[in-house]
Chain A
């Protein structure tokens, strides 16, 4: 029946036709395989290099191992600055999907972290496009770190990152000498004149010295970060380490500072009436600085421990905005008229030039009529000799000495003393000050006139040059004022320290410096260095024969020990020699302490074999003899007692109290 119904169907023919169609299927299969093979050829043979690189970038991460920064010691090996192991808690931004969930998580599990602060932090981080990671906590506690490490698998976006912190155990003490550290600026990286530019191998994120010896000796202190290359999985979890470059630690550095003297000096600046001033102490025999205080100071820990927290940022802003400028190093950057401390310079100049002689140095003291101007003198000792004039700070004597000497010879000696030049102290951004010379007066006058003309939109002509020269004519008044330390005269405390040290040792001027030695070690380029010591290439001699040196010492000794202006500095048995000075403050602000004069006291001791030179400046306090000389006394006393092995009076008192108790 079926065959009748479908007569056309032939099973043999059906299979034959099907067989032909199977061939079609086979060619289809072959075609598909050719296409797939072609694609594989394209990916695996033609473009394999590009894909291999992508795979490598996928799986490897280079993590830095921070190098330890060198420790800074005082001259006796006491630690002044060190680096603490510390961790930051960091979020890798890419892997965060929900910030609010994450912040709940962090608040719940990290110590002392504030939700509001975190949300502000995340908000702020949106604009920090540059960085892949957000620091959510600095100086994480051990509990924080262990929580993060325990939950690495659940929350791979939270990491604990090693970030050693610069730590200044004495906080504010010697802050201006030591400086502080921070991340290198982009501006500095791109500035070819900067010591921290890219060509020198610095890169974004490097911690460098920002001021003080941290900055000057950054090359010694800073190590070279190591690197480890690790394999990560697709979620960024570290699987294993492929290679490791150990970091090169920075070299330890010994400063010339003496912690004991520094402490005493800090105590003295703390009580300065206007809250501003300087004390610098050095060894006059080589320029080593024992103590450097610029007051007010700052706490360098603020920069290294909390620069990324809101609290720390506020503190840093306060430091910048404070009108007393705590970040400003008054010792090397502040310039003040040297006042009467300058009289030693004038004396040495006059004696060397023969204007006066050791045998005959008597000149009239008291006020003087200069043209139609009467120049007052606070002293009138008749016809004093130079020693008395130094001891009593006889202004009238030095007016006349200056006038006798004349500008030519006077200026020659200003330059021999190298006023108006940087001392070369090993601190950044030292200024050079201004000297009272004809050229300087002319420059200042011309600049003022020029400014006035430009403000009125007028051009500066040759006639104007001539007019400026006339206006800046060196008068007798200029000569007299310059001779006793006023005029266009401004010096830094560190310049006066070099000066007084030179006076103490008979004219040898050593460069004041803070660097004592550095331990041997390897630098950032991998070169090894032996122990390094300070080399004073800048020292020089101011001509000063024995007779002149005697006069200087006698005058300064008498100022302290024989009824002179600086009696308050006298220390029994130690022969302190000194000279007070009062720097007149020109100010329109009649009321308030800012109008008061700055008080100077420069000194050295003991007279015959000086061990210590010191400059004290008390800003807006009044007379040097009253305000600054008394502050030298406890510092000398303490040093004298310690070096001579005398008992500590405080200890004696407390021992006595103990005896009484028993």
Chain B
């Protein structure tokens, strides 16, 4: 028991935990700066503690045993996602993707994401083929598609797209043929190019959010506002920022949703280019660290699991920062 404990401590990746705690702490600090009322950052602090506990509990189990129960977890995720569609589901900020236990709300899609990563790792590690055949790709596609469609129906585009990030990464690492991948990428590019005229003329809020970034002059002022204000927040931060607590764009309500989706805007405003570059660097360090861990893995299942989460994290950071700095349309994607 003692020996196994020592091994546990030795094997534990303290660097990774340190980096993760660094971003979590920075997140809480910035939330408290954006919304000084204790409600939000205290909740974030509680979440942080719960997260730490989950990490330690999880590390007590062999990850292979968790992957083995993945089908049950995956099924549970689907049930929760389906429950959202029933009258039990609640709409928050336009997304009907919430369930409530008492007053505590949560989004099943966040859990279903993890369960889907586990499920894909479970399935793909069992496939002893390289390159992948069509049948495997289709089955993996179905595993991916069911939760994705459910999330999409809940109007949560940002989360629905996040499922693609790890799915593509995991298929790619499992030996997806290069020409299929290139064909897929070309198809997506072609679809985007063909969709451009339609998006320009379309007036739905999703189209407006896209136009607000790429064709601001065509967009409705109402939708441009968030992008404008977020851009001003980031830009006005300058090189060194306005200092902790110095945010005006965030604290005075010009930037919307400062405590979650747009927290990076407040962070950039207060810490400037130096701060935002450093925080991106920490994220990059976490992701490359994860990739390094994946490379050292002696089994396909471990490799896929870690790489899937790395891809998911990369997607979250890219989309969230991208929308704050006006490179991508606004989607509900939390940063920290």
Which residues of chain A have a CB within 8 Å of any CB of chain B? 2, 6, 8-9, 11, 13-15, 17-19, 21-22, 24-26, 28-30, 32-33, 35-37, 39-41, 43-45, 47-48, 50-52, 54-56, 58-59, 231-235, 239
Contact = CB atoms under 8 A, between A and B. Distances in A.
B236 A52 contact: yes
A44 B175 CA distance: 41
A21 B298 contact: no
B253 to A, nearest CB: 4
A602 to B, nearest CB: 70
A29 B130 contact: no
Contacts of B130: 8-9, 13-14, 17
Interface string B311-332: 1001001100110011100000
Interface of B: 128-130, 169, 172-175, 229, 231-239, 248-249, 252-254, 268-269, 272-273, 276-277, 280-281, 283-284, 287-288, 291, 294-295, 297-300, 303, 307, 310-311, 314, 317-318, 321-322, 325-327
Contact of B248 (A24, A43, A45, A58): A58
B253 A44 contact: no
Contact of B325 (A11, A24, A36, A45): A36
A437 B218 CA distance: 76
A59 B314 contact: no
A33 to B, nearest CB: 5
Contact of B232 (A21, A58, A232): A58
A22 B291 contact: yes
B252 A39 contact: no
B231 A59 contact: no
B314 A40 contact: no
A58 B310 CA distance: 39
Contacts of B283: 33
Q: Which of A22, A33, A59, A233 has the most CB of B within 10 A?
A: A22
Given A29-B310, A48-B235, A58-B229, 20 more contacts: A8-B129, A13-B130, A14-B130, A19-B295, A25-B169, A25-B173, A25-B291, A26-B287, A36-B318, A39-B325, A40-B325, A45-B238, A45-B239, A51-B234, A55-B233, A55-B236, A58-B248, A231-B252, A232-B252, A234-B252
Nearest to A59: B248
Contacts of A26: 287-288, 291
Contacts of A232: 252
Contacts, number: 146
26 contacts: A6-B128, A9-B128, A14-B130, A15-B298, A17-B130, A18-B173, A21-B173, A22-B307, A25-B291, A26-B287, A29-B287, A32-B317, A33-B281, A36-B322, A40-B234, A40-B268, A43-B235, A44-B234, A44-B238, A48-B237, A55-B248, A58-B232, A58-B249, A59-B248, A59-B254, A239-B252
Contacts of B284: 29-30, 33
B178 to A, nearest CB: 10
A24 B273 CA distance: 28
Q: Which of A32, A44, A234 has the most CB of B within 10 A?
A: A44
B237 A44 contact: yes
A274 B265 CA distance: 77
Contact of B295 (A22, A33, A41, A52): A22
Given A14-B130, A21-B173, A233-B252, A50 B327 contact: no
A380 B287 CA distance: 124
B235 A234 contact: no
A356 B254 CA distance: 91
Given A15-B298, A36-B318, A36-B325, A50 B235 contact: yes
- Interface of A: prevailing SS: helix
Top 9 closest A-B pairs, CB basis?
A51-B235, A55-B236, A234-B253, A44-B273, A48-B238, A233-B252, A43-B235, A9-B128, A52-B236
B252 A29 contact: no
A233 B303 contact: no
A44 B325 CA distance: 10
Contacts of B272: 44
A404 to B, nearest CB: 88
B318 A52 contact: no
A29 B325 contact: no
A568 B234 CA distance: 88
A234 B174 CA distance: 50
A14 B124 CA distance: 12
B300 A15 contact: yes
Contacts of A48: 235-239
B253 A233 contact: yes
Given A36-B322, A43-B325, A55-B232, A21 B172 contact: yes
Contacts of B299: 15
A14 B304 CA distance: 12
B169 to A, nearest CB: 6
A36 B327 contact: yes
Contact of A235 (B169, B173, B253): B253
A17 B132 CA distance: 13
Contacts of A8: 129-130
B252 A33 contact: no
B324 to A, nearest CB: 9
A15 B297 contact: yes
A37 B237 contact: no
Nearest to B256: A234
Nearest to A35: B327
A32 B327 CA distance: 11
Contacts of A30: 284, 288
B276 A44 contact: yes
A232 B321 CA distance: 27
Given A15-B297, A48-B238, A29 B277 contact: no
A14 B310 CA distance: 20
A262 B174 CA distance: 105
A74 to B, nearest CB: 51
Contacts of A15: 297-300, 303
Contacts of B327: 35-36, 39
Contacts of A19: 295
Contacts of B248: 55, 58-59, 231
B273 A40 contact: yes
Contacts of B269: 55
A44 B326 CA distance: 13
A43 B325 CA distance: 8
A11 B300 contact: yes
Q: Which of A14, A30, A36, A234 has the most CB of B within 10 A?
A: A36
A123 to B, nearest CB: 24
Contacts of B233: 55
A44 B322 CA distance: 14
A209 B310 CA distance: 74
Contacts of A52: 235-236, 238
A11 B307 CA distance: 17
A48 B235 CA distance: 5
Given A36-B327, A37-B277, A58-B254, A44 B235 contact: yes
Q: Which of B237, B272, B311 has the most CB of A within 10 A?
A: B237
Contacts of B232: 51, 54-55, 58
Contacts of A45: 238-239, 273
Nearest to B327: A39
Contacts of B252: 58-59, 231-234, 239
A446 B240 CA distance: 81
Nearest to B284: A33
A203 to B, nearest CB: 28
Contacts of B175: 14, 17-18
A56 B254 CA distance: 12
Contact of A54 (B236, B237, B273): B236
Nearest to A21: B173
Q: Which of A28, A39, A231, A233 has the most CB of B within 10 A?
A: A39
A41 B284 CA distance: 17
Contacts of B173: 18, 21-22, 25
Nearest to B287: A29
Contacts of B326: 39
Contacts of A32: 314, 317-318
